[in-house]
């Protein structure tokens, strides 16, 4: 790829260091401290879930249509309910920016000895590849898949070319596929119960998982995501919460390593993630819309909403711009995706992950653009 095609959120004022996502971010409200959120109304702290795990649940739920198109009602709360019981959201383990969990989570040896509650011996099927045991099976990862089951249902949730039950994104995507079966409607309580029962054939287990799902549901579902292409764009962006900022990172296929170097010194070549315009480019690509690579160029796409119209003119799915001169698109240095209710999904700057912020997080609002 030519360097000019991968220049991140650089604006036309590059020569005078007017750059994307590096200005002061004036955070407000709970979102400034809690890290990545599940939506405009729920954050990881409120849910009691590590932010990186919550991001994995969001991604796994949002992409189910690519794997089981007839499945209805898959949502992050269902995946969180399972993972809460199976591993307490990988409690006590480290989850990297890419979703890899260390040390690996493995369950008791299933040798029929009764230890850990198992009474039926299950001989090894993966030669110890995932569970470190070449004689008997052990459940693996935050969703505690048997290796044989993971081979059947495993998906590459973070699209890095590797499918691994010890990766949060892969495990969440695989659990979503398993629970959806051939196309369940998980909005129907009895179908949801049946799906959970296939995961562990204990009705006490089902009740335990459902209690967690109900608690997460009670926190709220976040912003009301529209249907159709606007909803596709918003959900695609929301699912990237927790993914790190990478200077020059992100393309139509998803996150990527970026370029060197941001004005504050981040070498994007060492970070797999998104910058501000890389995130919006990716989100709109999921609805079949090609955006230019830079924030300033994206201002020329679709119907321009001038800053003079005020933020009240924005609708969910609109691009939100920030620039040094509100009437000169060449000075635009940052872009976000409007969610509604004064919130945007945003890749802020080096060192900060993709997250939900108020549109007042930056002081130099420069209007928006409507593509749908």
The owner of tokens 């048997």 is: 146
Given a contact cutoff of 8 angstroms between Cβ atoms, the answer to whether 261 and 219 are in contact is no
The predicted model scores a pTM of 0.63
How confident is the model at residue 224, as a pLDDT? 57
Is the CA virtual torsion 201, 207, 211, 213 positive or negative?
positive
Domain with CATH 1.10.530.10 in the chain: 47-104+144-218
pLDDT at 154 over 70: yes
pLDDT at 9 over 70: no
Q: Quick check: helix, strand or coil at residue 245?
A: strand
How confident is the model at residue 43, as a pLDDT? 62
The owner of tokens 């405009």 is: 40
Rg, C-alpha atoms of the chain = 21
How confident is the model at residue 11, as a pLDDT? 32
Domain with CATH 3.90.1720.10 in the chain: 3-35+225-370
Instruction: Round the average pLDDT of the chain to a whole number and report it.
Output: 85
**DSSP for 256-324, written as a single string:** EE--B--TT--BGGG-EEB-HHHHHHHHHHTTT----SSHHHHTTSSEEE-GGG-GGG--TT-EEEEES
Instruction: Kindly report, residue by residue over 288-308, the tens digit of the pLDDT.
Output: 999 999 999 999 999 999 999
Of 61-75, 114-128, 169-183, 191-205, the one with minimum mean pLDDT is 114-128
- Report CA dihedral (267, 271, 273, 277) to the nearest 10 degrees: 10
Confidence of residue 47 (pLDDT cuts 50, 70, 90): confident
Instruction: Kindly report, residue by residue over 199-231, the tens digit of the pLDDT.
Output: 999 999 999 999 999 999 888 655 556 667 898
In the chain, at which residue ranges do the beta strands (DSSP E only) sit?
94-95, 101-102, 256-257, 272-273, 303-305, 319-323, 332-340, 343-346, 355-358, 365-370
Q: Count of alpha carbons within 13 Å of 355, Cβ hemisphere only? A: 27
pLDDT at 27 over 50: no
- Alpha carbon 77 to its chain's center: 14
Confidence of residue 2 (pLDDT cuts 50, 70, 90): very low
How confident is the model at residue 14, as a pLDDT? 32
CATH architecture of 3-35+225-370: Alpha-Beta Complex (3.90)
pLDDT at 105 over 60: yes
Q: What percent of the chain has pLDDT over 70?
A: 86
Q: How far is CA 336 from CA 17, 24, 187, 282, 304, in A?
A: 20, 15, 31, 12, 14
Instruction: Kindly report, residue by residue over 223-256, the tens digit of the pLDDT.
Output: 556 667 898 898 788 878 778 999 999 999 999 9
Q: Which residues contact 311 (CB under 8 A, 6 or more apart)?
A: 342, 359, 365
Classified by CATH at the fold level, domain 47-104+144-218 comes out as Lysozyme (1.10.530)
How confident is the model at residue 222, as a pLDDT? 52
How confident is the model at residue 221, as a pLDDT? 53
Q: Quick check: helix, strand or coil at residue 99?
A: coil
Tell me, what DSSP letter sits at residue 16? G
How confident is the model at residue 42, as a pLDDT? 52
pLDDT at 37 over 60: no
- Distance between start and end Cα atoms, the chain: 29
Instruction: Kindly report, residue by residue over 303-344, the tens digit of the pLDDT.
Output: 999 999 999 999 999 999 999 998 999 999 999 999 888 889
């Amino acid at each position: 790829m030519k360097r000019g095609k991968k220049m991140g959120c650089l604006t036309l004022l590059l020569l005078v260091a007017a750059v994307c996502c590096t200005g002061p971010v004036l955070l407000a409200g709970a979102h400034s401290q809690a890290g990545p959120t599940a939506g405009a109304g729920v954050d990881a702290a409120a849910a009691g879930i590590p932010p990186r795990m919550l991001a994995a649940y969001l991604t796994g739920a949002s992409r189910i249509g690519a794997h089981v198109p007839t499945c209805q009602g898959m949502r992050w709360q269902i995946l969180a309910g399972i993972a809460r019981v199976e591993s307490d959201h990988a409690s006590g383990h480290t989850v990297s920016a890419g979703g890899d969990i260390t040390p690996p989570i493995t369950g008791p040896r299933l040798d029929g000895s009764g230890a850990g509650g198992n009474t039926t011996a299950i001989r090894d099927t993966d030669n110890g590849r995932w569970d470190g045991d070449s004689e008997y099976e052990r459940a693996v990862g935050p969703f505690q898949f048997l290796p044989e089951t993971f081979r059947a249902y495993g998906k590459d949730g973070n699209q890095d070319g590797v499918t691994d039950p010890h990766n949060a994104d892969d495990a969440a995507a695989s659990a979503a596929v398993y629970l959806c079966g051939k196309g369940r409607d998980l909005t129907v309580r009895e179908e949801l119960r049946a799906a959970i029962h296939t995961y562990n054939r204990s009705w006490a287990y089902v009740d335990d998982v459902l209690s967690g799902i109900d608690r997460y549901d009670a926190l709220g579902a976040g912003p009301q995501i529209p249907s159709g292409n606007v909803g596709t764009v918003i959900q695609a962006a929301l699912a990237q919460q927790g993914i790190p900022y990478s200077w020059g990172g992100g393309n139509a296929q998803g996150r990527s390593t970026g370029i060197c170097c941001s004005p504050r010194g981040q070498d994007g070549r060492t970070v797999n993630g998104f910058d501000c315009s890389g995130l919006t480019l990716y989100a709109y690509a999921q609805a079949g819309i090609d955006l230019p690579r830079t924030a300033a160029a994206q201002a020329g796409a679709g119907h321009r909403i001038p800053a003079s119209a005020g933020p009240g003119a924005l609708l969910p799915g609109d691009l939100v711009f920030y620039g040094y001169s509100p009437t000169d698109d060449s000075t635009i240095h940052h872009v976000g995706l409007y969610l509604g209710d004064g919130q945007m999904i945003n890749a802020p700057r080096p060192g900060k992950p993709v997250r939900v912020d108020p549109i007042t997080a930056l002081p130099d609002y420069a209007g928006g653009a409507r593509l749908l």
